[in-house]
Amino acid sequence: MQVIFIKDVKGQGKKDEIKKVKDGYAENFLIKKGYAVPLNDSSLAKLKRDQASAKKQDEENRRQAQVQKEKLEQETFTFKVKTGNQDRVFGSVSAKQIKEELDKKGYNFDKKQIQLENNLTSLGFHTITINLYKEINAKVKIQLVK
C-alpha cells in the first residue's frame, strides 16, 4: 500500500513523502495514529496544493528578507558607552542590547538571529551578522562612541 506521510516518522519517512509500506503497518499504525494517509487522487491533489502553497510562502518570505537586508545594510547603529583609561570600554555591547536598539528602530528580530563572535568591547565601527531567513544574512554596521 502506498501512503503519504503527514508527519515525520523516524526510520520510515518524512512529512509529504510518498512511500510504499506493508498493508497491515499502514492500516494499523500509520493511518490509525495519524502519521499518514492512503495515496489516492484526492490526497495527492491535496499534497500538491500544500507544496505549491509552501513554495509560494517561501518565495514571499525570501523577498521580504531581501528587502529587509537592503534596508538594514544601509543603516549604522550607534551605541554610547562609558570608557575608562585609554578609551577602554567598561563592559561590552551584547546581542541583547543590539536587539533592543533594533526594536527601537522598528525592526523585530529574535536575539538568536544576531550573530556575534564575541561581545563588542572597543570603540569604533564593528560589523555583525543577522540571520534574516534561510541563507539570507545582513551585515549590519555598529558604532561604539564615548
Walk along the chain (146 residues) and give the pLDDT tens digit of each residue: 999 999 999 999 999 999 999 999 999 999 999 999 999 999 999 999 999 999 999 999 999 999 999 999 999 989 888 888 877 888 888 888 899 988 988 888 888 999 988 888 888 899 999 999 988 999 999 999 98
DSSP state at residue 28: I
Overall domain count for the chain: 2
* Domain edge (last residue) among 63, 89, 113: 63
Give the closest residue to 123 by CA, choosing from 87, 75, 77, 86: 87
What pLDDT does 134 receive?
87
**Cβ–Cβ under 8 Å, residues 9 and 30:** yes
CATH classification of the domain holding 112? 3.10.430.100
- Residue 21 phi/psi, 5-degree rounding, is -130, 170
pLDDT at residue 17 in the model: 94
Residues 51 and 103 in one domain: no
